[in-house]
Amino acid sequence: MAWTYTLVLSALLAARCHAQQFPANFQFGAASAAYQVEGGWDADGKGESIWDRLVHTNKDAIAGGATGDIAADSYHLWREDVQMAAQLGLDFYRFSISWPRILPSGLANNISAAGVAYYNNLIDELLLHGIKPVVTMYHWDLPMKLQDLGGWTNPLISDWFESYAAVLYSLYADRVKTWITINEPIVVCDFNYNGGNYAPGIKEPVIAPYLCNKHLMIAHAKAYRLYEREYKHKYDGRISLANNALWIEPFKVPRDIELAELGMEHMIGRYAHPVFSKEGGWPEKIEKHMLELSLKQGYNSSRLPPFTEEEKKFVQGTADFFGFNYYTARQIRPAKAGENGTWFIDGSPELDAMLEVPPGATFGATDLIAILPRGLREMLQYLKKTYGDHEYLITENGYPGWKDMEDHVRIDFIRDHLEQLLIAIEEDNVTVSGYTYWSLLDNFEWVGGYGIRFGIYDVDFNDPKRTRTPRLSAKYYACVIDSNSYNVSLECTNSPSTAFSRTPTNGNVRNSFSVLVSVIMVALFFV
């Protein structure tokens, strides 16, 4: 019977191992954004973006007076970026297209041949290595000429964005099957206009965030409907937004439960409810709250512009999956006398509330990101409960480190978040199709300049060649992808990784192998 016991034990161990593995069709990726990595800010006729203008006219706005003029020089070193993605064995690489690199004026009357060629080359090289391109249309680098006309506070922005999307589809839809229209709408609208620190450098927290909010949702919907109408039947691609999902929980229970619910509607609901809810439009509680507050403040109507019934139907359902970035969490409480926080940073004047760091959270190189891995699972639970059993894609999740940090911290970060993600899949039955680490390589981290390092590849910004070097976390992530499990051995991470010397593994082959092992173990059990 010894052999029977051995087979039973082996089967149990295999089952335990399999329990720490992601579903067979789960995808792993990494991400970057055009302004943060490309450089070549005025190369080959590229137009000026709002970030170009900010860094060139307000040196004090960025740590160390840094700019994205060269950044990681991916405009010239894109082949190296693709090689890194191949070394990792990525299933997909998420990158953004620079609106002013394709359309220097922001409008379709002038399409840059050099810009078109750059992204053609990048897409084709990714596909050559079996890596799916996931393309973000807008990652914050609005053409300056459109900003001069009001940018996202001008209702015509939805038409301009639709025209831009039409150009991208006509150029790349035959090869790009997954599109993100807009990255982190809440940053584009609320963070930018409430704080005034990010481009375009305008602080107007009363009207601008809400004009931007509505115009952005219409712009997204126009881009989606255009694809649905003219390209879906040809290429069967998929489109969504990438919302920034700040997990908000009550500071004191039960006192702050309702406030936390309102905070979630204010934070993610305004950018998700119009698309994913059954009724469409703004979340009911936040729409009522903003109307009552606006009337109390002396306005004749809500500062949050209402949707018409036609607009509700037009925006509703304009996503094929729910994409979101998860970085951080906060607790919410009522503001005390004299407290008046900045929304998305430390509070909300509209909600008369303040945000606090949750107990047990840790920090990296910035105090804006309180790291709380359990918040990822809780966010997925909330989204499923609120919007239903959609397919969810983690479009960003990353650790804000510094250049010479001990990289085991980043490994722990990735492992802890993947563990929470897998629990959500297995125990909460949330449908999650993939995970995207931010970022593939070190980059220009907005107002943080080059002092904050998210990359699993180090970039030497003092070297004109912008030398890229894999960190220990890159080797860990390659092992995760190769094994389809977050629980990989130290030998894989610390020894010369086979993932960096093998031919990049096709995701289907990788997952089929995992399934094959399980089938063999089960078969042996019944012999």
Contact 110, 132 (CB under 8 A): no
Q: What is the pLDDT of residue 490?
A: 76
Q: Which helix (H) or strand (E) holds 315?
A: helix 309-315
Q: What is the pLDDT of residue 496?
A: 60
Torsion over CA of 69, 73, 78 and 84, rounded to 10 degrees?
-130
Q: What is the pLDDT of residue 515?
A: 41
Q: What is the pLDDT of residue 493?
A: 77
Percent of the chain with pLDDT over 90: 88
525 pLDDT exceeds 70?
A: no
User: Tens of pLDDT along 129-163?
Assistant: 999 999 999 999 999 999 999 999 999 999 999 99
9 pLDDT exceeds 80?
A: no
Catalytic site residue from 80, 184, 249, 261: 184
DSSP string, 247-280: EEEESSTTTTHHHHHHHHIIIIIHHHHHHHSSS-
497 pLDDT exceeds 90?
A: no
| Pairing status of strand 432-438 against strand 347-348 | unpaired
4 pLDDT exceeds 50?
A: no
**Catalytic residue status for 396:** yes
331 pLDDT exceeds 80?
A: yes
- As given in the structure block, the two tokens for residue 491 are 């030998």
96 pLDDT exceeds 90?
A: yes
- Is the backbone of residue 88 left (phi > 0), alpha (psi -120 to 50) or beta? alpha
Ranges of each domain in the chain: 2-526
Q: Which amino acid is at 422?
A: L
By C-alpha distance, which of 30, 239, 24 is closest to 131? 30
Q: Which residues are bridge partners to 250 per DSSP? A: 332
Q: What is the pLDDT of residue 19?
A: 53
Residue with tokens 């997952």: 511
Of 420 and 525, which is predicted with more confidence?
A: 420
17 pLDDT exceeds 60?
A: no
Q: What is the pLDDT of residue 484?
A: 97
Contact 38, 100 (CB under 8 A): no
The CATH number of 2-526 is which of 3.40.50.360, 3.20.20.80, 3.40.50.300, 3.90.950.20? Answer: 3.20.20.80
Of 79 and 526, which is predicted with more confidence?
A: 79
273-295 mean pLDDT: 98
User: Tens of pLDDT along 310-328?
Assistant: 999 999 999 999 999 999 9
Confidence label for 501 from pLDDT (cuts 50, 70 and 90) = low
User: Tens of pLDDT along 44-83?
Assistant: 999 999 999 999 999 999 999 999 999 999 999 999 999 9
CA distance readout (Å), 432 to 249, 310, 377, 382, 394:
22, 31, 11, 14, 8
What distance, in Å, lies between the first and last C-alpha atoms of the chain?
13
pTM for the predicted model, two decimal places: 0.92
348 pLDDT exceeds 70?
A: yes
Contact 84, 468 (CB under 8 A): yes
11 pLDDT exceeds 80?
A: no
CA distance readout (Å), 330 to 238, 246, 399:
32, 7, 17
**Catalytic residue status for 184:** yes
Average pLDDT, the chain: 92
CA distance readout (Å), 411 to 88, 143, 319, 437:
14, 37, 32, 11
DSSP string, 116-182: HHHHHHHHHHHHHTT-EEEEEEESS--BHHHHTTTGGGSTTHHHHHHHHHHHHHHHHTTT--EEEEE
Q: What is the pLDDT of residue 20?
A: 85
Q: What is the pLDDT of residue 495?
A: 61
Catalytic site residue from 48, 261, 350, 396: 396
Confidence label for 16 from pLDDT (cuts 50, 70 and 90) = very low
